[in-house]
Amino acid sequence: MLINLSIKNYALIDSLNVTFTSGFTTITGETGAGKSILLGGLSLVLGKRADMSSLKDKANRCIIEAVFDIKNYNLESFFEKYDLEYDPNTIIRREIHPGGKSRAFVNDSPLTLDILTKLGKRLIDIHSQHQTLQLTEHDYQLKMLDAFADNTKLLDSYTRKLHTYKTSVRELDELTEFQKNANKEYDYNTFLLDELDAVFLEDGLQENLEETYQQLNNVELILENLSKGNYLLNDENRGIISMLSELKQVSAQLSATGNKFEDLRERIDSVFIEIKDIAEEMQTLQESVEPDPAKLEEISNRLKVLYDLQRKHDVSSVSELLEVKENIAAKVGATQNLEEEIETKRNLLLKLKKDLDEDANLLTSKRADAIPEIKEKLEISLHSLGLPNATFKIEIIPTEDYKSNGRDTLSFLFSANKGSDYNTLKKVASGGELSRIMLVIKSILARYEQLPTLMFDEIDSGVSGEISNRMGDIMHDMSKYMQVFSITHLPQIASKGDHHFKVFKTDKDHSTLTQVRELLADERVFELAEMLGGKNLSDSALAHARELLN
């Protein structure tokens, strides 16, 4: 509910502050007084784009601020979604700076114009000629029928299931496409995997093969040096062991002469033992080493395969080849399991489709059940608004396509006169008829869903006095369920308001200003009388005005 509207430096408005309450509020004023300016200012805080022409004084900024009571609007999740500070009394402020820059705030939190527009639609529904054209659109008509059929929760359920279904369809398509490409690569990947399996990869393989290769490839040099080593160790005349034996005897004789030589003897004994052990090991190695051309060729071939694989996969070690093998094995395994995964996804889709069809069918059924009653309500209400022969032909046509609001196409046909063919509203309904149809629809919906504040902008254009009287009654009845505004030229509607505001112009310091104020009871009489008979107020006009108010 709109509680307060403050406008500064906008069009013909210097400074304006108006407080509103619940119920039905009518706004009147002479043509050109600035009713459209007031509505334009309100539209800015609801997200309408602005420009420099909005500024009355081009040197100063324009500030428009509106206060809304939103405690019954269930907007907490909206504020949380867009990271805005929630307050039951929400303040929206719009600033337009002289340079053309525009800024918007909700409870002092800055926000984009796009988010402000989304919020604005949840706060005030401005019924203008543009919105009347919405009535001719299929989705709006279906939305109206769903509100009447109380399909809100069912639509939420359908929407969630549709999202899950579409996601699963996309995932299945991706899996199927992946399978096509994977099958093409499967044989090649299997070949690569067999090729890597054939070399029995393990950590340290390359190092062991290279070491063995070096030994086999240098066997003559190794044998030559082992033989020379054995000769140096074991020669009877100048071998190390022979000379160490003599040195050992010398150290034994020295130690016999005193303890100070004992340590020296022990060290020489230790060296002798170590050299003897080395000699035995070199002898064993010499006996074990022998040329093996066949094994050398085998090792050479294995290393060549290993090096070729590393070049092929652009790596430089066995550990990296093992990673390549693991990745290829994963691809082969994934391809082998794809068919099973695709089959599982298909079965899931069948279940999701079944659940989705249940909601879609129930939507179709509830819509069809609601049509006779809403058709009757529309026709009865329009008969009282000067369309005595208005009739509708409304049909639900189920389709196979899953749309955002079900699987139905709505045929919403209208005939205003007896004998006339039924056709779409866009083709057969006049502007005045569309306005009355929209008013009736809004009045019906007001009882079935939480509508925001409604503002009717000269919905009564071209309407006679008696019909306008009935339109005023409808708007007043709607105000029992929500806050309703009507900008009107007709006294019959203006008199129905619980509150009556007048928009007027004044001249001040060589400039014209638009102002707004709420009329007192006596002032309403004079305003209505002037609307009935002009500036020269007659007794009959005043009496008629009092009669309208009573």
Give pTM, 2 decimals: 0.67
- The sign of the CA dihedral 426, 431, 433, 437 is positive
d(CA 435, CA 429): 10
Among residues of the chain, what percentage have pLDDT more than 70? Answer: 99
Give the pLDDT band of residue 259 (cuts 50, 70, 90): confident
Cα–Cα–Cα angle for 237, 240, 243, nearest 5°? 60
User: How does pLDDT run across 143-188, given as a tens digit for each residue?
Assistant: 889 988 989 899 999 999 999 999 999 999 988 888 877 777 777 7
What's the pLDDT score for residue 131? 63
Say which CATH class 1-127+451-519 falls into.
Answer: alpha beta
What's the pLDDT score for residue 78? 92
What's the pLDDT score for residue 129? 59
For residues 81-109, average pLDDT: 91
* Tokens found for residue 162: 């549709």
What's the pLDDT score for residue 360? 95
Give the pLDDT band of residue 130 (cuts 50, 70, 90): low
User: How does pLDDT run across 311-323, given as a tens digit for each residue?
Assistant: 888 888 888 888 8
In this predicted structure, the answer to whether residue 288 has a pLDDT above a threshold of 90 is no
The better pLDDT of the pair 94, 212 is held by 94
3-state helix/strand/coil string of 74-102: CCHHHHHHCCCCCCCEEEEEEEECCCCCE
d(CA 370, CA 393): 13
In this predicted structure, the answer to whether residue 310 has a pLDDT above a threshold of 80 is yes
Residues facing 30 on adjacent strands: none
Q: β-strand 391-403 against 406-415: which pairing, if any?
A: antiparallel
Neighbouring CB atoms inside 10 A of 295's CB total 12
